[in-house]
Structure 1
Amino acid sequence: MISTAVDVSARRLAIGLIDIYCQRLSAHKGFACPHRLLYGESCSGRIRRAFSDQNLLTAVQSAAVQLGDCSRASAVLRERNRRGNVRCIVIPCCFPI
């Protein structure tokens, strides 16, 4: 089991990195999170909340699940686009899991 001090420090670091990603990279990448487009909440927001509310191991597991959910949301949006149900092309923000 990870000690409490290491757990808290690692989670704070993860949250800081997510914040930097949101402020410096996400706004300039040129496409939106498929999960946010489909369900209203971005991966970075959900993963940040996991690191705020859960222990390190559980948060890492939650992040992996979230990226899988985003990959599936991307597939749904691509299928909708293929059928002509939406007018934009969505580039996935995460790799297929």
Structure 2
Amino acid sequence: MDIISFEPLAKTTAIDSITAYQKYISPSKGFSCSHRLLHGGDSCSNYVKRMLSEQKLHEAVQSSLKRFQECAAASKTLTSIKTRADFRCIVIPCCLPL
């Protein structure tokens, strides 16, 4: 009996879902990822897509959770120094306390 791995399908589905979010939902929000605004580099969605492409699924999930925690901290920092200029990230769980 062949063993079918769930991982490739899960990773492809997640990457395709993030791509759809970036194409259809994110542009209409009018604001951006707090982590990217504060630190530069990838937005959380681009970071997660990259991790899914480069790592095993469980490693990508762990990296993504850490990144969401960092994004939540970045959101608090931006709020406290009042440099937000009406930008914040509402991607669940991005920028929300974990």
Normalised TM-score (structure 2) = 0.83
- Counterpart in the other structure of 1:91: 88
- Counterpart in the other structure of 2:46: 45
* Pair 1:78 & 2:79 matched: yes
Q: Which blocks of at least 5 consecutive residues in structure 2 are unaligned? A: none
Q: Which blocks of at least 5 consecutive residues in structure 1 are unaligned? A: none
What one-letter code is carried by the residue in structure 2 that aligns with 1:37? L
Structure 2 counterparts to residues 23-34 of structure 1, below 5 A: 23-34=23-34
1:92 to partner: Cα distance? 3.5
Contact 1:36–1:42 (8 Å) recurs in 2? yes
* Pair 1:8 & 2:8 matched: yes
Q: How many residues align?
A: 91
Normalised TM-score (structure 1) = 0.84
Seq. identity, %: 36
| Separation in 2, partners of 1:65, 1:92 | 16
RMSD: 1.7
